[in-house]
Structure 1
Amino acid sequence: MAEQTPAPEGIPVGISACLMGEPVRYNGGHKRSRYCLEVLQARFRFEPFCPELAAGLGVPREPIRLVGVPGEAPRVVGTRDPGLDVTEALAEVSEEFVARHRHLRGFILMKGSPSCGLARVKVYHANGMPSHADSGAFVRALRRHFPELPLEEEARMNDAVLRENFITRVYAFDDWKRHVEADPGYHALLQFHSRQKYLLMAHHMEAYRELGRYLAGAHARPLEEAMSHYLERFMAALSRPATRKTHTNALMHVMGYLKQALDGETRRDLLRTVEDYRLGHVPLAVPIRLIHHYVKRHGSDYVRRQTYLDPHPYELGLRNAI
């Protein structure tokens, strides 16, 4: 069975420093995340970063906010002193961060921050009236210079689906970093796609088909171009959370590899379990563990290698809540 085995020191993941309990917020406080420190830190090697501190803003400091109009990149200025404009300073430290941290597999962000907020960060008119919402300045730089990097807000990980989706993306990106980027080649690219096929199917059927067609002619393209195109499309597809409908479709495809090995009663039991999941009577972990059992006994090497069955450590219990 496919198993996601990170390096012994843990998967490198960036995190807003305040979530680690560091007193770096404008008022000298922090936003320590129990989930990150008490659960994820056993698997991830967190690398904390505060872009505001890196940009030269001290602690304590004047709060900053986004100012601008829809359709334009907002400026980042002081709330009391609009003459304090740190837009360029934040852009510079953000680009420097990306240049030094291409090894990261994800980044966990602080909600609502004018630098680290993933979305729905308030943007104000110059007169102080609310205008619209945008992403924080650091996040916009991450998306521009490191678009494949999985991003999520710590607060949004209270949602079981978003939590499982983010951690799935981190482990998939770690697989890419260790097995494709570390030893680039057309064979490594095709093997990655082969073991990720049903995970991709569960998230985005159109991308599953599109990337399969793309790789059929990948050898005719420069390797760097093929890898770049594939990774961008693959990570974008995984960012779409899977649903009960799409999970059910992937489960049925995996079961197709077992139908010749199982008797009629066992197949009917499996189908009933998948239907119970589709109807919302049981969590995804139930059909997955049952199929896992039969794949381990009767599955081909191909289906055993599918990361869909083990996209992240079982001990995290992520599929018990979706």
Structure 2
Amino acid sequence: MTSHPQEGIPVGISACLTGQEVRYNGGHKRSRYCLQVLAERFAFEPFCPELAAGLGVPREPIRLVGKVGETPRVKGTVDASLDVTERLEEVSESFIEAHRHLRGFVLMKGSPTCGLERVKVYHPNGMPSHADSGAFVRAMRRDYPELPLEEEARLNDPVLRENFITRVYALDDWKRSVEPSPSRHALLQFHSRQKFLLMAHRVETYRELGRYLGEAHDVPLEEAMTHYLRRFMAALSQPATRKSHTNALMHVMGYLKRALDGDTRQDLLAAVEEYRLQQVPLAVPMRLLNHYIQRHGSDYIRAQSYLQPHPYELGLRNAI
């Protein structure tokens, strides 16, 4: 299995979620889960785009303003002449350029800068118009599209929580194993050990990227790496389903069929079927599979990140 570093994985976070009193009203939105659970694994790096853009604390609230189809501007809710769009763009670009080492970012829900989605956009006449992403989020999606993003409030959903943390660890693997010494061999090795994780999220992308790597001999290495990583991370951003997990589990079991007796195979099949029928969580068949793979599996199957994409102690697969 893929080993994980002992030091914290660098992950960005909206500063108000760490308890810093940087909100427009001088308050904060301290996240207990981030600070008491994830902080044991992640080295959080707080950032507040509004504070970085020179807006004080407390300050006039800002909001997104624009028409459908336009990129919203960021303006004051009281003083219509207050427009911080360009300032926010500058600080966002500077932050992204200086933080390419991050493996993810936890965002504040509903913020005109940090909201991931469903942020209210107002018509210039002051009436609610539609919804969009916050200004900082739009910049990150444009300039660092492979970075896993998630709102803190959505981490209460077990599926979204497991998905986000899976993506953080997958990007961390890439940054530790591929980026330091780029080579086609490193890229192929990464794809090899991510096979079943990618299959569980989007089997079509697994096949697509396999073909791409097989045919990309003449593509410059940097271009091939960029294309691969963005397609890989985009596929992982789609949460795996029970159906896709079941498919991946059955494929993993195929590597044990000659090593196990009939009764043991039936026990494994029964655990997978109970998971498919929503009678047990994913942790149950995974626990059995890991047990037998450690005893009878090849080096190839033991190296699969799917078997342990994140620390077991987090218990993320106990709830999905």
Task: Specify if TM > 0.5.
Answer: yes
Distance in 2 between the 1:4 and 1:149 partners?
Answer: 21
Q: Secondary structure at the match of 1:12?
A: strand
Q: Which ranges of 4 or more aligned residues in structure 1 deviate by more than 2 Å?
A: none
What secondary structure does 1:181 align onto? coil
1:92 is aligned to 2:93: no
Find 2:178's aligned residue among 172, 177, 180: 180
The aligned residue for residue 155 of structure 2 is 157
Distance in 1 of aligned mates of 2:32 and 2:217: 47
SS across alignment from 1:76: strand
Q: State the one-letter code of the partner of 1:137.
A: A
Task: Tell me, yes or no, if the aligned pair for 1:186 and 1:218 is still in contact at 8 Å.
Answer: no
2-side partners of 1:58 and 1:45: how far apart? 26
Match of 1:264 among 262, 265, 275: 262
CA contact (8 A) 1:4 1:310 kept: no
Aligned position for 1:168: 166
Gap runs ≥5 in structure 1: none
Displacement after TM superposition at 1:269 (Å): 0.7
* Partner Cα distance (1:250, 1:256) in 2: 10
Amino acid at match of 1:46: F
Separation in structure 2 between the aligned mates of residue 221 and residue 62 of structure 1, nearest angstrom:
50
Q: Which residue of 2 aligns with 1:3?
A: 2
Distance in 1, matches of 2:20 and 2:126, equals: 30
Cα deviation for residue 147 of structure 1 reads 0.4
What CA distance in whole angstroms lies between the structure 2 residues aligned with 1:44 and 1:183? 24
Cross-structure match for 2:273: 275
CA distance in 2, matches of 1:4, 1:134: 38
Paired with 2:43 and 2:139, the residues of 1 have a C-alpha distance of 22
- Structure 2: tracts of 5 or more residues without a match: none
- Structure 1, residues 88-140: CA drift from partner, whole Å, max 9, x if none? 00000000000100000000000000000000000000111000000000000
Q: Counterpart of 1:115?
A: 113
Structure 2 counterpart of 1:207: 205
For residues 174 and 289 of structure 1, what CA distance do their matches in structure 2 show?
Answer: 24
- Which of 30, 33, 36 is the aligned partner of 1:35? 33
Please give the per-residue CA displacement for 1:155-183, whole angstroms capped at 9, x wherever unaligned. Answer: 00000000000000000000000100111
Q: Give the number of equivalent residue pairs.
A: 320
For residues 126 and 81 of structure 1, what CA distance do their matches in structure 2 show?
Answer: 13
CA drift of 1:219 comes to 2.2
1:132 and 2:140 matched: no
- The residue aligned with 1:102 is 100
Q: Which secondary structure state, in structure 1, belongs to the residue aligned with residue 240 of structure 2? A: coil
Tell me, yes or no, if the aligned pair for 1:245 and 1:278 is still in contact at 8 Å: yes
Q: Deviations over 1:182-232 (max 9, x none)?
A: 110000000000000000000001101000111112322110111011001
Please say if 1:236 is aligned against 2:230.
no
CA contact 1:4–1:313 (8 Å) conserved in 2: no
When the two chains are superposed, the root-mean-square deviation of aligned CA atoms in Å is 0.6
CA offset at residue 54 of structure 1?
0.1
Residue in 2 that maps onto 1:83: 81
- 1:315 pairs with 2:310: no
Find the residue that maps to 1:81 and give its secondary structure.
Answer: coil
Q: TM-score, normalised by structure 2?
A: 0.99
Contact 1:75 1:85 in 2 (8 A): yes
Amino acid at match of 1:5: H
List per-residue Cα deviations over 1:20-49 (Å, max 9, x = no partner). 000000000000000000000000000000
Task: Say whether residues 1:227 and 2:225 are aligned partners.
Answer: yes
Calculate percent identity across the aligned residue pairs.
78
